Amino acid sequence: MKRIITLLFSFLLLAGGASLISSCVEEAPSINYSVSVTVVNDFTKVVEAINAGALQQAEATDRLTAAIDGMAADQLAKLEALTEVITSQANTLDTKLAAIEAALQAQTLSLEGKFELLKTAVENGTLKSEELAEKLAVAIDNLGGTVAEKLEAVKAVIESTSAASAEKIAAIEAALLAQTLSLEGKFDLLQAAVEDGTLKSEELVEKLAVAIDNLAEKFEAVKAIIESTSAATGEKLAALEAALKAQTLSFEAKQALLIAAVEKAATSSNATATQLAALEAVLKAQTLSLENKLELIKNAVNNIDLGYELNDLIDAVNSLAQDVANGSVDVESAISAIADTLQALQDFINEIVYDNTVVFDGVSMPVFGATIDAVDLTENNYDIKLNLSGDGSKVLNIQASAEFHEGRLLDLTQYESEHDGWYWVVDMHDYNTFTTYFETFAAPSSYYVVFLEGTLYVERIGSGNEFKIVLQNGRVKDTWNGDGIEHTISLAFKGELEVVD
């Protein structure tokens, strides 16, 4: 009973105070209602003042923010008071909007609490649903604490089991719009959303592009991820792909980021595959014109020291760019051809397992030893013999040159155009049985066959005697110098060759 009497007494005082202020305004017009607000700064009185039109929107928001943070109440009580303002039909729209803005700026409300208020405002029509993410972004930017603490607050909303999928997505969209979160932090949030099923994996790059577009220092932020020593290769590639899709990065910025990504990829554990993936990101970017894609790739491959494996790509890109320039090929066909070359190289690299084994007619034969001619090596020509038997009787012979063959995916079904120097050779013998299985030689107008199917790749690693040799999907039938039987052969070798005179 004592509590009821006290409350009644408080209401009488408030009523009396309001009458007194009203009387003062009537008798002395120079005294403004807002003067009382500046003195009292009470939540209820500020709401009344806004309803009465006595405060401008900006001042009303500031007064309400101060009143919320100054309340001697817990979060639940504050949220209940704000919810009542937002949902009461007695309050004007200006009052409700001011209460929302004040809540977003208040330092004593949690992000989850602010999110709940925003959802209430959407439900009762005070806000439109499409305003939810934008308002929540304001709430994120007004949170106190470090960037890491803000990220944890957003992550808590996204990972909440009680939050509906649409609400989680709104929280993600808000994080992407926020100005006070780092790009790395936003990336982490997106990855978490993919992991818990809120987003599909294919949506990650698209959302990250939105995050980039909403950053002030976007170029530096993307470059920091690409050049990071801690970011995984997949994260760097996703950042590059998102940057290429971004609407607010200049062509020059995208060019610089692509070159940085390809250069950085050279130091990764799977350098060539990563470089190819970075270049492929250009082809995926829907915001780039075909002409811009061609220019980006051409500039990248000609301004970076790429591995030997990409010699074919460099040749193809430069040739196609020249064809487009002289009008013999349209740009769409050029981009399609580059995409095919990229895919072929990716397939080639992804299939390689260097087990130092030759598979001949379905039978695996380990390489017991490998030699290379010393004199030829000094002239950058490679005469390589792989020993496929313990006694050295079964031998696979491969010949190639640095000038015409190294680092290129050779089509074993084609003779080469006439040139000075060596042509490629692949032949196989069993000297115990005096059997020549096949002898292939790529010189034009020679009396040798070429393969029916297959590719060959030869690369000298550095300036020493370590080599990569890959023969894939070989199929050959030599009726001129061989046994006339169709054979299949494949090889993936990586290692040092014994240099012999």
| Span 455-481, pLDDT tens digits | 999 999 888 999 999 999 999 999 999
Q: Compute the half-sphere exposure of residue 501: CA atoms within 13 Å on the CB side of its CA.
A: 0
Q: Are 104 and 135 in contact (CB under 8 A)?
A: yes
pLDDT of residue 116: 85
Strand 498-500 and strand 369-373: pairing?
Answer: parallel
Nearest alpha-carbon partner for 338 in 316, 318, 322: 316
pLDDT tens-digit profile of 166-178? Answer: 778 888 888 889 8
Q: What average pLDDT does the chain have?
A: 85
**The residue to which tokens 């003067």 are assigned:** 35
DSSP 187-199: HHHHHHHHHTTSS
How far is the C-alpha of 103 from the C-alpha of 458, rounded, in Å?
67
How far is the C-alpha of 431 from the C-alpha of 437, rounded, in Å?
11
Helix (H) or strand (E) holding 175: helix 165-177
Using 50, 70 and 90 to split pLDDT, how confident is the model at 366? Answer: very high
Q: Residue 47, SS3? A: helix
Cβ neighbourhood burial of 484 (10 Å; 0-12, 13-18, 19+): exposed
Tell me the backbone φ, ψ of residue 494, rounded to 5 degrees. Answer: -145, 120
DSSP 402-428: TTTTTTS-EETTSPPPP-SS---EEEE
Say if residue 184's pLDDT is above 70. yes
Say if residue 46's pLDDT is above 90. no
Helix axes 132-141 and 165-177, enclosed angle (nearest 10)? 60
**The residue to which tokens 């894609």 are assigned:** 293
Question: Dihedral angle at the C-alpha atoms of 186, 189, 193, 196, nearest 10 degrees?
Answer: 160
Kindly state the average pLDDT of the residues 63-76: 86
Residue 133 structure tokens: 């993410």
Share of the chain above pLDDT 70, in %: 90
Kindly state the average pLDDT of the residues 144-162: 79
Instruction: State the first-to-last Cα distance of the chain, in angstroms, to the nearest integer.
Output: 112
Kindly state the average pLDDT of the residues 262-277: 80
β-sheet bridge partners, residue 410: 456
Tell me the backbone φ, ψ of residue 121, rounded to 5 degrees. Answer: -65, -35
User: 403 vs 272, 381, 420, 460, CA distance in Å?
Assistant: 21, 8, 10, 12
DSSP state of 434: T
**In this structure, is the dihedral angle defined by the CA atoms of residues 103, 109, 115 and 116, taken in order, positive or negative?**
negative
**In this structure, is the dihedral angle defined by the CA atoms of residues 434, 437, 441 and 447, taken in order, positive or negative?**
positive
Instruction: Say what the pTM is.
Output: 0.64
Using 50, 70 and 90 to split pLDDT, how confident is the model at 269? Answer: low
Strand 369-373 and strand 357-360: pairing?
Answer: unpaired
β-sheet bridge partners, residue 229: none
**The residue to which tokens 């084609």 are assigned:** 414
Longest pairwise C-alpha distance within the chain? 125
Contacts of residue 467, defined as CB under 8 A and 6 or more positions apart, other chains included, come to 372, 382, 384, 458, 459, 460, 461, 493, 494, 495, 496, 497
Q: Are 223 and 260 in contact (CB under 8 A)?
A: yes
pLDDT tens-digit profile of 406-457? Answer: 888 899 999 999 999 999 999 999 999 999 999 999 999 889 999 999 999 9
pLDDT tens-digit profile of 86-123? Answer: 898 888 998 889 888 888 998 988 888 888 888 898 88
β-sheet bridge partners, residue 396: 386, 428
Q: Are 483 and 435 in contact (CB under 8 A)?
A: yes
Q: In this structure, which amino acid lies at residue 358?
A: V
User: Within 10 A of 487 (CB to CB), how many other CB atoms are there?
Assistant: 18
What value does the CA radius of gyration of the chain take, rounded to a whole number of Å? 36
pLDDT tens-digit profile of 221-255? Answer: 999 998 887 888 888 888 999 999 999 999 999 99
Say if residue 52's pLDDT is above 80. yes
DSSP 209-252: HHHHHT-SSHHHHHHHHHT-SSS-HHHHHHHHHHHHH-SSS-HH
User: Within 10 A of 75 (CB to CB), how many other CB atoms are there?
Assistant: 14
Say if residue 336's pLDDT is above 70. yes
Residue 6 structure tokens: 């006290």
**The residue to which tokens 């992804």 are assigned:** 350
Q: Are 76 and 112 in contact (CB under 8 A)?
A: no
